[in-house]
Structure 1
Amino acid sequence: MSLLDTFRPDVRALHAYHVQDAAGFIKLDAMENPFALTPELQDELGRRLGAVALNRYPGPRINDLQAALRRHAQVPDGFGLVLGNGSDELISLLSLACAKPGATVLAPLPGFVMYEMSATLQGLRFVSVPLTPDFELDAAAMVAAVREHRPAITYIAYPNNPTANLWDDAAIEQVVQAVAANGQGLVVIDEAYQPFASKSYLDRLQQHPHVLLMRTLSKFGLAGIRLGYMLGRADLIEQVDKVRPPYNISVLNTEAALFALDHEAEFTRQAGVIKAERERLQSFLATLPGAQAYPSQANMILVRVNDAASTFAALKQRGILIKNVSGLHRLLANCIRLTVGLPAENDALMAALADLLREPLTSPSAA
C-alpha cells in the first residue's frame, strides 16, 4: 500500500491541466483578449481596487455585480443568475448538483474538455457524439443519443471550442426539442465566445425552460479574474446556487468586473478589432497552399496543416506560441489553433506561416 492509494484510481490516472510557459513569446495559444488596459484605465482600476476592504468577506457589492451583469447580458426579467469562478466552476457545480446515481452528461466532440472532466470527477457517466468531418453538429446522432441515454445535462457550445464555428440553428433546435421530449434533463448553451459571434441563443432562451445559458468575462477581456455566469429559469438556477461555495467570487474580482462593465464600450471596441483581425487572418490563410482554415465565429481559428507538431515547434522556435490540438480527437488530425492577437502579433504570425506552409496540403481531412 502507498499513500497515493488514498486517492481515487481515476484521479491518479488523470493529468493536471498544463499551461505553456509563455514568457518571451507572442502568446497566441489561449484565446485571450490581447489588449492591455491603457495607463489611464490602469490608474482608475488601481484606485478602485485599493479601496476594497480586503479584511472583509465579499458582501453586498456582489449584488451590484449581479445587477450589472443582468444589464450587460440583457437577462430576461424573472430569470435566475449564478456566478462562478470562471465557467469551469459553473460546469463543476452543475455536475455536482445533478450527480444522481446513473446520471449521464452528453456533449459533442471535439469540444471543451471540462464537460467530460467535471462529469467524470463528480461520478456522472459521460457520453460523446462525434461532430461531422467538417465539424458540424450531427443532429441525427445527437438526437439518437438523447433518446437512448436520457442525459441529465447536454452541452452545446455556441461557438464551439476548439473548432470555433457556430453550429446550424436547426440542428441545435432538434437536440433541444429531443431533450424536452424526455421530460427531464437540461441543455446548457455555452456562449463563452459570444463577444466575437454574429448571434446568440439568448433570444430563444425563454421558449425553452429547460435551457440554461452560460457565459464568461474571460473572452470579454478579463481572463485573469476568472468570472463566469449562468442564467435560466430561476428555480433551476437556484439548485446550482445551493452547491456554490460561500464567497466564491472575491472582492477584487467583483470590483474588477464592475470596473470593466463600467467601461463596456472600450471592451466592445477591442472585440471589434479582434473580429476584423480574424477576417484578415482568414483571408491570408486562404492563400497558403499548406493550410486549410475552418470558419470561425470566435477569437481563434482552427487550421489543418501537413504536420501539426512540426508547425507548432517551428513557430515556437520563432517566438510564437500557438496550440497544437491534433491529439485531442481523431477529427482534429494535424490541426493547430491560432488565437487572434494584436495586429502586429498577427503580422508576425502571418510572416512565419507564409514561410512554413509553402507546400500544398497533403494531410487528409478528418473522416
Structure 2
Amino acid sequence: MNAAADITAPANPALGRIRADVQSMHAYAVQDARGLLKLDAMENPHGLPPALQAELGARLGALALNRYPGDRGNDLKRALAAHARMPQGFALMLGNGSDELISLLAMACDLPGAGVLAPVPGFVMYAMSAQLQGLKFTGVPLTADFELDGAAMLAAIARDKPAIVYLAYPNNPTANLWDDAVIEKIVEAQGAQGGLVVMDEAYQPFAARSYIDRIQRHRHVLLMRTLSKFGLAGVRLGYLMGPAALIAEVDKVRPPYNISVLNCECALFALEHAAVFEAQAEAIRAERAKLLAGLAQLPGLKVWPSDANMVLVRVPDATKAFDGLRARGVLVKNVSKMHELLANCLRLTVGTADENAQMLAALRDSL
C-alpha cells in the first residue's frame, strides 16, 4: 500500500521541529467562492473600466521584471503621503498588505514580556501575529452594542502595559466607528506608559471620519491603511504612517524588496486615477444606505449601523441563514463563532445594486 494512503503510517518526525502552538493553531481560512456571488470579504465590487485596464496592462508589460524593485517605491510613498495628507515630520513605510505591517510591528516590539492589546471582536491578525511572534495578546471585550468599554481598556493598559494597542477605525467585523472621546483617553493612557497605538483605517474610504487630522497631537500613534478596500485587494499594498523616528525603527525589520514592481505600479496607477476609485467608494456608500434600509425591513433580524463596506446583522440562526444563502448562490461570512458577542451574527459585504438585491432576496428566503 502507498504510505501516503496508509492511515497507520507514523507521523513525519520533521513535524517535531515545528512549534507546538503553531501546530495547534487554525490557519486563516479563505472560503471557496467558486460559482457564488462573493460578498464575504469586503472587496470593492467594481473593476477597472476597459480603457484603464488596457492602459494599466501596457504599463505593467513594460516593467523590468528582471530587475529588483528600485526607486519606484519611493515614488509610491510620496504619492501615498500626498493622497493621505500625511503631516510634516511624519514618514511612511510600505507593506505587502496590512497583514505584513502587523507582523512587522510585532517583530519590532518583541521585547521580553511585551504584549499586544486590542478590543474584541476585532481583526484576527492582531492576535495571530502576536502569538506567532511570542507576544502576549490581551483582548478586551466590547460592550453588547460593540462600543469600546473605556474603563476595561484603561484597566487593561494599566495592568498589562502593552507595547501596542490596536484600534480599528472602523472596526471589523462590527463596521462601526467608536466614540472619539473614549479613543483619546485610551491613546493618552497608552502614551503615558510608553506604548504605541496603531489606528487601523483599512475601511477609511467608506467612513465618516479619519484620525489623520489628530495624528500630529501624539508622538506614539501610528496610522495604518491599505489599498485593499480602496479597490486593489488583489494588489496587496498596505502602508503605515507615523513620526519619522518611529517609522525608521520599524522599517528596519521590513524584508528588502517586499513590494513587487507589479504591486507598486498598480498602486501608482490607481492613485493617478483616484477619482475613479473615489466615485466607486461613493457608489458603495450609497448602496450601503439602501442595503441598511432593506435589512431593517426583514423580520427577526437586527442590523447595526455601518461606516465600512460591510454590515453586521444578527439572525435567529446564523448557520441556517448562512447555509440558506449559500444554497441560493450567495456567499457571506458567518462570524457567529468568532466571539460570544457575535452569537448568530453574519457579516455582509456591500456589493453593487444588483448584488445587494440578490443578497436581500436570498436572506429573506433563508430566514
TM-score (norm 1): 0.96
The alignment yields a C-alpha RMSD, in angstroms, of: 0.8
1:224 alignment partner, SS class: coil
The amino acid of 2:359's aligned partner reads: L
Post-superposition shift, 1:18?
Answer: 1.6
Which of 158, 168, 176 is 1:157 aligned to? 168
- The residue aligned with 2:32 is 21
Q: Structure 2 unaligned runs (5+)?
A: 1-10
1-structure distance, mates of 2:355, 2:209? 27
Residues 320 and 366 in structure 2, CA contact (< 8 A), matched pair in contact too: no
**Does residue 179 in structure 1 map to residue 190 in structure 2?**
yes
Task: Return the letter of the residue paired with 1:197.
Answer: A
Instruction: Give the match's secondary structure for 1:301.
Output: strand
Q: Which one of 143, 162, 165 corresponds to residue 154 of structure 2?
A: 143
Give the counterpart of 2:339 among 329, 336, 341: 329
1:117 aligns to what? 128
Superposed CA offset, 1:220-259 (max 9, x none): 0000010000000001011110000000000000000000
Question: Could you list the per-position Cα deviations for residues 135-182 of structure 1 after superposition, in whole angstroms to 9, with x for gaps in the alignment?
Answer: 000001000100111110000000000000000001101100111221
Corresponding position of 1:243: 253
Aligned to 1:338: 348
Letter in 2 for 1:140: A
Deviation at 1:78, TM superposition (A): 1.6
1:356 CA displacement: 2.6
Distance in 2 between the 1:354 and 1:123 partners? 45
Question: In the alignment, which of 276, 285, 300 is matched to residue 295 of structure 2?
Answer: 285
Q: What is the aligned partner in structure 2 of residue 220 from structure 1?
A: 230
Residue equivalent to 1:101: 112
Report the Cα distance in structure 2 between the residues aligned to 1:130 and 1:19, rounded to whole angstroms: 25
Matched, 1:204 2:202: no
Aligned counterpart, 2:42: 31
CA displacement, residues 173-201 of structure 1 (integer Å, 9 cap, x when unaligned): 1100111221x110000000000000100
Partner of 1:318: 328
Specify the code of the residue in structure 1 equivalent to 2:205. Answer: P
Distance 2:320 2:350 in 1: 21
Structure 2 equivalent of residue 52 of structure 1: 63
What's the offset of the Cα at 1:354? 2.3
Unaligned ranges ≥5, structure 1: 358-367
* Matched letter for residue 312 of structure 1: F
Q: How far apart, in 1, do the equivalents of 2:339 and 2:27 lie?
A: 18
Residue 62 of structure 1: how far off its partner (Å): 0.7
Deviations 1:285-340 (A, max 9, x none): 11111210111000000000001011110000010000000000000000000000
- Cα offset for 1:17? 1.5
- Code of the residue aligned with 1:56 in structure 2: it is R
Instruction: Please tell me whether residue 62 in structure 1 is matched to residue 73 in structure 2.
Output: yes
With 348-357 and 139-148 compared, the bigger mean Cα shift is at 348-357
**Aligned-partner Cα distance in 1 for 2:334–2:141:** 20
1:299 paired residue number? 309
Q: CA deviation at 1:355?
A: 2.3
Instruction: Calculate percent identity across the aligned residue pairs.
Output: 66
User: Distance between the aligned counterparts of 2:23 and 2:128, measured in 1?
Assistant: 13
Alignment match of 2:179 (pick from 150, 161, 168): 168
